């Protein structure tokens, strides 16, 4: 039922290092709802912080990375 879908899923990433990921298989047993995604689908990956540009302007590459992250966050929430 739609009312059974959690508003959010909290995942502890405090023990992860840069480059580490969490996959569906890592959280499947912790949830009381069925997850239709495959076990090997990545939910989150820890990335190094983006370097700051001197005058506060983001480079084109940083903007593209941010857009990709926003898209991933949106699809995770659905």
What are the tens digits of pLDDT across the range 30-66?
888 888 899 999 999 999 988 766 666 656 666 666 6
One domain for residues 22 and 58: no
pLDDT given for residue 9 in this prediction: 85
One domain for residues 41 and 74: no
One domain for residues 5 and 41: yes
Q: What is the percent of the chain where pLDDT is above 70? A: 64
Residues 27-31 have a mean pLDDT of 87
One domain for residues 56 and 40: no
Domain that holds residue 65: 50-78
One domain for residues 3 and 29: yes
Task: Please list, in sequence order, all residues whose beta carbon lies within 8 angstroms of the beta carbon of residue 40, skipping any fewer than 6 positions away.
Answer: 23, 24, 25
- How many separate domains does the chain show? 2
On the question of pLDDT at 18 being above 60, the answer is yes
Mean pLDDT, the chain, rounded, equals: 78
């Amino acid at each position: 039922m739609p009312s059974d879908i959690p508003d959010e899923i909290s995942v502890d990433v405090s023990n992860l290092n840069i480059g580490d990921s969490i996959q569906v298989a890592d959280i499947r047993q912790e949830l009381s709802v069925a997850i239709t995604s495959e076990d090997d689908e990545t939910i989150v990956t820890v990335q190094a912080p983006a370097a700051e540009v001197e005058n506060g302007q983001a480079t084109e590459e940083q903007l593209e990375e941010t857009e990709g992250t926003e898209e991933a966050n949106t699809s995770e929430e659905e």
